[in-house]
Structures are given as structure tokens and as C-alpha cells.
Structure 1
Amino acid sequence: MNILDGYRVLDCSIAMAGPFAAQRLGDLGADVIKIEPISGEWQRHKPAGNAKGHRINVSFLSLNRNKRSLAIDLKSAQGKAVLLDLVRSADVFLQNYRPGVAARLGVDYDTLKAINPKLIYVSMSGYGESGPYATRPGQDLLLQAMSGAMLSVGRNGEPPSPAGQYLVDAVTAYTAFEGVLAALLHRERTGVAQRVDINMLDAIVAMQMQEISVHTVGGIPQTRLNEPHAHPYIRAPYGVFKTKDSFMALSSPPLGVLAQIIDAPELAHIDEETGVWNRRDEIFAITQARLHLKTTQEWLAAFQAVDVWCGPVYGYADVAADPQIEHNGTMVEYDHPTEGRVRTPGFPIKFDQTPSTVRRGAPLTGEHSREILKELGYDDQKIEGLFGSGSVGEERL
């Protein structure tokens, strides 16, 4: 049994944030039906890294497990009628259309609420449903840039440093997932459903709760230094350093201890209260000059022996092979009917009574259309009529 067994989610989202949120609901047992065009959702045709796969590319594969696919033409009267029939039995409707599109398609909150008053309606957007930026493209890099996060790392005078992953999309997905669970809990307690609005800008700003508050409440400016300090509000040394053979991370060791380990006596004379803040560039440069003399493993052994916070800088190959990752069961493996053996990050929350499971991999476009229509009570003649008219589509294994 899974926690969300018996709940039905209609996933009308595209790209990453919406599908990722819906996948997390599916991981907990919800019956997630992915509503996509006859030609397939956008992400089926735009894989990250051009990782195309066999019949399903890696991007779509990674964001759409534990879902069934229903391929319908929402612009046709028959296709929209199928969706509205599904709404009657759904618990959650999730969409990330551009503002105004849901109303044009006839799947806006008021329309669907009239059909199913118990429906939790989740609308995801880039900047909000209204306001001066409502029509701007909600793209990850643009939101990273606008959020302030990008300007917290890197050297003063050099271009700001974006994250090496779709950070805002992922944070927005997690936020939407939390919002759905909270709304379901409220409905269980009160019997009242509601609309849940999530936008990428608010999600990435809220993630920086501590850092932004240091500025807005503490009055301390966000300052980039001449050296690539890893955080604007942490004492030195704090960041990633080049060693003889690779890189390592070093997190705010006492200067006296650091001075002994790296043989830099000048560090021992810098004040631990004020110097670690106003001489951060100098401390970083001295530390970097010493750390390039030995290998990462040599330095890690020396630092860890005296409980200094440090660690290696991993690539994805290192992550996938790490013994703690293996011990935690961080990655899940399953057999996919078209893509073969799949190893990918799993659901990160562990429940001792209701663990998450992989019940199916990402579906082909409309792979479950016929199955879902039968569940709605449509007879064979009506089903064949929908396929014949092009209002519903399917791709078979």
C-alpha cells in the first residue's frame, strides 16, 4: 500500500516543474494520468543533453514514471469531453499553462470546480497569474537570474554563476508537491477543496529565506568578493579549492588549525571574530596557494583527522558510485519495456509503513488511452469513434 493509493491526479503540465511534481505524487501511489496532445508532450521532443533514448528520451523518462498516458486533442469537442469526464472522478488537476490558456481551453478553475467541487486545482506559473510580469516566459535560467541567487557566488566583476541544474524548476516542483499534500489534508479534515497557485519566482525566493532576511532584516548587503567565496554571508575560508589533482570543498575551519595543517602561519594571526569577514579575499588566496600543493585525498585525510569540515567535489559518475548513495537506496532501478534497465534518482522520503514504489516507467504517448476510456465506462463503439475522429490517440508497445 502507498500513502496516496486511491487518489487520482490529472497532470496537464509540460516541461519539468509540473511533471516532476506529479511524478512525486505518483511515487506515493496516486493514479497519475498524464493528459498530453496526440503528438506527445513537449518534453518528449526536447531532451536535455540530447539524450534521446529508444522510444522515450531520458528527460521524459526521468520525470514521468508512475503515470499513465492519455493522448487527447483538447481543442476538439470530443477530446475535451473526455477530460471533463475524468475531472468528475479526479482529486487533483495540475496545469502550468501560460496565463489565460486554461480559460481558452475551458479547463479553468471555475469551470472544473462546477463539475467537481471536491477537486483540488493546482495552477503553476512563472511569475504569478497576474501582475506586471505575468506574461513573461517562466524559464529556469531567467528566474535564477532574477531571484538574487546567482549573484551570491563567483568573483566580483565576473559574470554571476548559475546553478548546474534546473534549480528553479526543481524547487517549484517540490513546492507544488507540498501544496497538493496540504490541500488534500485540508480537504480530508473539512471536506472543502480549493485552488492552489504556485509560481517559480516565489518558490526560488522563499528557498533563500535566510539569505534574503540577512539583507532585509539584518541590513547586511549582498557582496561579491574578488575571490570565488561560496556564500556572501559566511566567514572565510568557505568554498571550493583546486588541489594538485582535482578540487575539494572547505567549510570555515578555525584559522589556527588551518594554519598548522596547510603550513600557513600568517593565517594564525588573523582575528577569528572580524578578520574572517573583512579579510576574506586574503584568507581565500592564502589557502588556495597551499592547497594546490597536495592531492585532494591527502588534504581530506589531514583535515578529517582533526574534524575540519571538508569534502570531495563529485561529478555525476562519482555520485552514482558512492557507497552512501548505495546504502541509502538513493537511486532506484527498474526495467522499462522500451528503454531497458533504468537507474535514476528515486523518491527521497522514507516511510516505514508505506514506502514509495516504482509501479511503471514513463509511458508512451497515449499508451493507456484505451484503458482509461474503458474505466470511464465508454463502450467499444464510442472508443473506436474517438480514435477514428482523431480526438484521442495511442502509441502501443
Structure 2
Amino acid sequence: MTDTQSPAPAALAGIRILDFSHLLQGPFATQLLADMGADVIKIERPGKGDLFRSLTFRNKWVGGSESPNFLAWNRNKRSIALNLKSLEAKSIIMEMAKTADIVVQNFRPGVLKALGYGYEDFRAVNPRIIYCSGSGYGEDGPYVDRPGQDMLVQGLTGIMAATGQADAPPTPVGAGFSDQIGAMNMVYGILSALYWREKSGLGQEVKVNLLAGMLAHQNQEMVMALNFNEDFKRPRSGIGHPGMDAPFGTYPTQDGWVTIAMSPYRTLVGVLGNDDLLVYDDPEKLFAQRDEIWRKLAAETGKWTSAALMEALLEADIWCGEVKSHLQAAEDPQVRHMELVTSYEHPRAGTVKVIAPPVRLSETPPTIRKPAPLVGQHTREILREYGFAEEQVNSWLASGVAYADEARE
């Protein structure tokens, strides 16, 4: 699917983004916009690029050289590598800003501004520009100098204390959840600002932070805690939420695990075939004795295979599902039906398997047109587009103001 063009128009075609972001939050946001057709120009450090290019899981590299972390969040972008501390690089970027629509960055507060790339700097050359900043804890306050990393924010906002079992340590979510929520909020803010600009002709500054995002996305838990002045208490069993009663949770089978959500308890007991469990069929008991009930239900589900239990539960209209690993999820029949696993060709990594864009539009579908770029892969191409003379471009490349992966140009 590399460098192919969809016959359908792209929803954000003609929108140009100057992307200073790195790691996960900002790059995921700009990838979502790029999938919808925006021209995302990723501005990277000469030679080194985005920090995620050098970080990976278990020291595994796709194609022997490329970070899966970077490949996950940077498709459909072009890379230009510039030395941001150079005055000449600043003149290049401000020339680009004159026709850009959006700037995205997630450096620590004040870092880009100190280099001359704050909102006011961009607005001075383009009043229509939308400048989106992502941070860990906002732009000021007692935590402004703290590192705003995903797991740290999970710990601060209650989700870690509410996840897992009571006798276990607080449990982080098994993905970069805070960062991904932050990315979604970036897109939400940027698209809102774009719509306002269509009516007013004016750009604006958008600020997103992980702390606020994680609290907002736990609103039902926060409303419960705040209004009853009582924290949730984690169960000691496989109950799936600290505020829920039995049978809500995960249950063992002979060959795996299944999940059971909000379902009539009496109906579930009927499927499992042990009427002795009906003694717990009371709303107060189902919460107060939920750990005990879970253990007894688990003893019954453990007599079934996952497939047989799923068939019986679905037949009884019980809300249930299998528990699958990432590789098993990729082979799930519904995942395959929706073609949610796809791939692109990368100049170094070869075929890279990825997850397809999650949003579908009937008239302007998102597409994967480009692989994640190499550092400075498009430096010369982008500078040419902005009308800089070849001699000038060569001079910048020679002096280190700019950097290009010439082998891939």
C-alpha cells in the first residue's frame, strides 16, 4: 500500500502540518491526520531524528534496523531534518510556516518557545496558523518541570490504583494509554480549531495535556468518587472493574479465559448448571461477596473449553467474549473481515505489518500512502517545493543546517 493514491478524495487534502513532535502523543495525532490526507512534514534532528527511532521493545528491530515504535506512529509523513538552533533553519521553517495550516509539538513547556518556535513566532508570519502543544501536566504549575511520561500520568490519575487485583501492586494499562488519549485530544482540538478558522479566518493555540486527558476519560469513575467521597476498592479476584459486582470479570476455562460483562446472574448460573450458586442472586450480595462469587463461578467455567462456553453463553444472550493475545487478536475472524491488519513497504525494513486506520468515511476514506520516513528522507524534496534554489539547498546540506538521507532521495 506504499505511495498508492486512492481514487477517492482525501478529507484533509490541502492541509499542511509542520510536525515537531516526537515519541508517541504528537506523532500518533499527526499520523491520524495524515491518514485523512494531510501533508505532514516531520521536522527532525539531523541524523538522529525522533527519539523513538532509537527505542524498541526487547531489542527487536523490524528488518534488522527500524524501530517498531517509530514505524507504528509515523506513516504517511515526510521527513525534513534541520538544526533548530541554526538561524538559517529558523528562516527556512518560518518560510514554510507562511503556507502551513497547523504546527504540532510535544516538547516540554517552553523548550520550542526558547528556540524561537512558539505560537507567537508562527502567528507573526501566519495569523491563520493553528498551533497545538501537548504536554504532561500543562504549561505551568507545580509539576511543569516533571517528565510527562505515560505510566507516570496513569499513576497520578487513579487508573493504576483502580486496575488489577487488591493483593497485587497498582497495575498500569498494557499500552501507552495516556499518550494515546492525549493524541486523540490533540486531533479533537485541531479539527475544532480548523472548523472555527473556516468561519472566522483566524488561527488559534490549542493546548492538550496528559493529566487532564486521563482524568476526563475516567469521568464516570471520578464522578462516582467525588460525589460519594469514596474511592473504589479493587477486588481480590478477576472482577473486571473496581466498581462492579459479580459476575462482571474474566473467568478461566480449560484452555484459556473468557470475559463476562453485565449479564443476568440467574441466567448465567443456569448455563453453568449449578443451582447452588443461586443463593447469591441478590444485588447486595453480588457486590459485597463478589470475590467469593467469582471463585465459585470460576470453578464452574473451568470445566468448559472456551469455545463450548462461548457457544452456550451466546445462546443464552450472555454478554461475553474470548480473551486473546495480540497475535490471536490479529487472526480474529471479525478483525480479518474488517481488514484491520494491513501492511506497507519500507525502504529498509521491507514489508511492515500495521493496523489500518480505525475510522471509515464513505466519500473520503483514509489511506496508507507512504511508509514511515527515514530521517531527512524528504529534505531536498520539501526545500525544492518551497522554491529554494538547488545551490542554496546544497549549501545548507554541506554546512549541517539541513540533513538528507541522500541514498533514499
Provide the TM-score with structure 1 as the length reference.
0.96
Corresponding position of 2:279: 269
SS at match of 1:257: helix
Match of 1:229 among 239, 259, 262: 239
Write the distance in 2 (CA, Å) between the matches of 1:158 and 1:47: 27
Q: How does 1:162-181 map to 2 (within 5 A)?
A: 162-181=172-191
Corresponding position of 1:350: 360
SS at match of 2:14: coil
SS at match of 1:53: coil
**Post-superposition offset of 1:197:** 0.2
SS at match of 2:78: strand
Match of 2:59 among 38, 50, 58: 50
Match of 2:36 among 19, 28, 31: 28
SS at match of 2:307: helix
Write the distance in 2 (CA, Å) between the matches of 1:290 and 1:12: 54
Contact 1:250 1:310 in 2 (8 A): yes
1:98-135 deviation line (CA, Å, top 9, x unaligned): 11211211101111111111110001100101011111
Deviates more, 1:234-243 or 1:162-171: 234-243
SS at match of 2:112: helix
Q: How does 1:210-225 map to 2 (within 5 A)?
A: 210-225=220-235
> Once superposed, which parts of structure 1, at least 4 consecutive aligned residues long, lie more than 4 Å away?
none
- Report the residue type matching 1:189 in the other structure: K
Corresponding position of 2:16: 8
Residue 392 (1) aligns with residue 406 (2): no
Corresponding position of 1:322: 332
Write the distance in 1 (CA, Å) between the matches of 2:225 and 2:128: 42
Match of 1:85 among 87, 91, 95: 95
Corresponding position of 1:382: 392
Write the distance in 1 (CA, Å) between the matches of 2:329 and 2:376: 34
Distance 1:152 1:26, change over 3 A: same
Q: Which runs of no fewer than 5 residues in structure 1 stay unpaired?
A: none
Write the distance in 2 (CA, Å) between the matches of 1:203 and 1:96: 14
Q: Which runs of no fewer than 5 residues in structure 2 stay unpaired?
A: 1-8
1:127-182 deviation line (CA, Å, top 9, x unaligned): 10101111111111111111111122222232112111111111111111111111
Instruction: Report percent identity of matched pairs.
Output: 37
Corresponding position of 1:187: 197
Corresponding position of 2:161: 151
Provide the alpha-carbon RMSD of the alignment.
1.4
Write the distance in 1 (CA, Å) between the matches of 2:98 and 2:289: 63
- Report the residue type matching 2:31 in the other structure: Q
**Post-superposition offset of 1:322:** 1.4
Equivalenced residue count is 397
Write the distance in 2 (CA, Å) between the matches of 1:394 and 1:295: 56
